[in-house]
Amino acid sequence: MSRLANVLIAGNNGPRLGELADSLTECGFQATQCTSAPGLLEEARLGQPDVALIDLTAGSLGPMELAIKLINSTDTGGMPVILFGADGSEETFSQAVDIGVDDIILE
């Protein structure tokens, strides 16, 4: 099977990230998991992934702040950033639109 995309996944729930990474890998994607903000930023800079998925339930990572850093970085600014695990609240959507995320996936 050919490689579809290199996906960077950020969160602090190991089993949840593992399941998502496994599902993506089974579908032909290359999935890299990061459980720390510095690790994600470094992997994004060095690995040049095609897209970043950030788990909004990973409060300790500061998911919105992490998205802002990826979007504003000259090294990763062109990479799409998708937030997942959203609760569907108006505040979450408004904040995500304001910072420039590419998409939000509801849980």
pLDDT the model gives residue 77:
76
Residue appearing with tokens 């190991």:
14
Q: Residues near 58 by Cβ (< 8 Å), separated by ≥ 6?
A: 10, 11, 12, 13, 85
Residue 61 near residue 37 (C-beta atoms within 8 A): yes
The token duo for 4 is: 């579809």
The two three-digit tokens of residue 59, written as one number: 């409060």
Catalogue the E-assigned strands of 20-106: 30-34, 51-55, 81-86, 103-106
pLDDT, mean of residues 75-93: 87
Which strand (E) or helix (H) includes residue 93?
A: helix 90-99
Q: Specify whether the CB–CB gap between 55 and 35 falls below 8 A.
A: no
pLDDT of residue 2: 61
Q: How sure is the predictor about 3, in pLDDT bands with cuts at 50, 70 and 90?
A: low
Give tens-digit pLDDT for 22-77.
999 999 999 999 988 898 999 999 999 999 999 988 877 788 999 999 999 988 87
